[in-house]
Structure formats: C-alpha cells, structure tokens
Chain A
C-alpha cells in the first residue's frame, strides 16, 4: 500500500519562527489532501485540508500549499509555539486513504 511505516524525519525550530513541513504524495489523481497533528500518545487530529482545485488554503496560523505538478504538499506554521511540538502527517486520497511518513516537529523555547 502507499501508507508505509518508515523512520520519521525531524525538524527543530525556535519558538516564534515559522515552520515548514513538506510532504510528497504519490497519486496524481488524488483530489483531497489533509494535514494531521499527532501529539505523543494520542491519536492524530485534523489541522487543515485542501481540495485539488485549490493551491493554497489558510487557517489559524497554518497554511497548506499544494503543487500538483510535482505532487508536493506543504504545511506552514506561523509563529511556532511549544504546543506545536508533535508529529505532522499529510494524507491524500486515492482508491483509499494514504498517509505520508510524518515529520516530528520540536519547538525550542
């Protein structure tokens, strides 16, 4: 399947800086994309989504960018806070739901 269990890449940022987390997806026919946040010991929680007819969507302190040409998705977190420390997963649809490998974000106070 497209969702696999691989070791997580990590990203460390200073509190107050902006964070950018990237994801490459594999299905050019996907029409729906989501970013999830997973804190330690908890289930993933929805952050923001985007449909394939858009290339940018903004939420509260978060922005998702979609580049369908290169099958790339990114999550930008503005003014990163210690509470943003978590693992972030992208997900996309195909004939089922697929998850990226995830990125572990650590915010340094």
Chain B
C-alpha cells in the first residue's frame, strides 16, 4: 500500500532563517506531487506541483521554492522565512494525471517568530 511521510511535524523558526520541509512517498512510482499551504481557518492554497523528477510548477510567486531530486521525494525550501510563511504545510500525491484523488500527508505546522 502507498504511504506518504512528511517531516518535521512541527517547526518553529525565526524570521530570516532558512527552511527545508521534506515529503516522501512509498509504494508508488512516478506520482504527481504537490505542496499546499493552509493558513489557520482557511482553505488549501496550492504552492507547487511536480509531474516528474526536476519538473516543478509554481502556482504562487513568493519566497518559497520546491525541488524533486528523486521520483518519490519532494522538498519545500526557503532561503529566508517571513512571518507570513507561518501555516500548515501539506504534501500530497496522486497517480499521474489530474483526474484522480490526491492523498495527503500528515502536514507540518510551521511557526515563524
């Protein structure tokens, strides 16, 4: 069966510090991978998605970036965090193509202080 992992589960970082969140998927090959952000009491905002290694599409211009160094690994990064980067970050995967359900990881709660 497929599983998706995210870490860390929670993170408190000062403004201006770098960020690296990691997501890995097991039990499937060539998945579509997604990063979402969810502010408190709000809906999901798609940040990045990837249809293959090294292929990243950005939905929202900001100080975040994403990389996919391996087929089942998706990384969300920032060189300098802003207060507005605080939120709940969710990684998700789906089979290739957009007409299938997405499976979500447990999320990372990021607080920028």
Residues of A bordering B, CB below 8 Å? 1, 3-8, 31-32, 34, 36, 41-46, 49, 89, 91, 93-97, 99-102, 104
Contact = CB atoms under 8 A, between A and B. Distances in A.
Nearest to A96: B98
A89 B100 contact: no
A96 B98 CA distance: 5
B42 to A, nearest CB: 4
B107 interface: yes
B99 interface: yes
B43 A8 contact: yes
A41 B99 contact: no
Given A42-B107, A46-B103, A96-B98, A7 B90 contact: no
A49 B101 contact: yes
Interface stretch (B11-19, B33-41, B62-70, B72-80): B33-41
A105 B12 CA distance: 29
Contacts of B101: 34, 46, 49
Given A1-B59, A31-B99, A43 B34 contact: no
A31 B59 CA distance: 22
Contacts of B105: 43
A41 to B, nearest CB: 7
Interface of B: 34, 37-39, 41-46, 49, 59-60, 88, 90, 92, 94, 98-107, 109
Nearest to A99: B44
Contacts of A91: 102
Given A41-B109, A43-B105, A101-B43, A5 B98 contact: no
A106 to B, nearest CB: 13
Given A5-B39, A91-B102, A96-B49, 13 more contacts: A1-B46, A3-B44, A4-B45, A5-B38, A5-B45, A8-B42, A32-B100, A93-B98, A96-B98, A97-B94, A97-B102, A100-B43, A101-B42
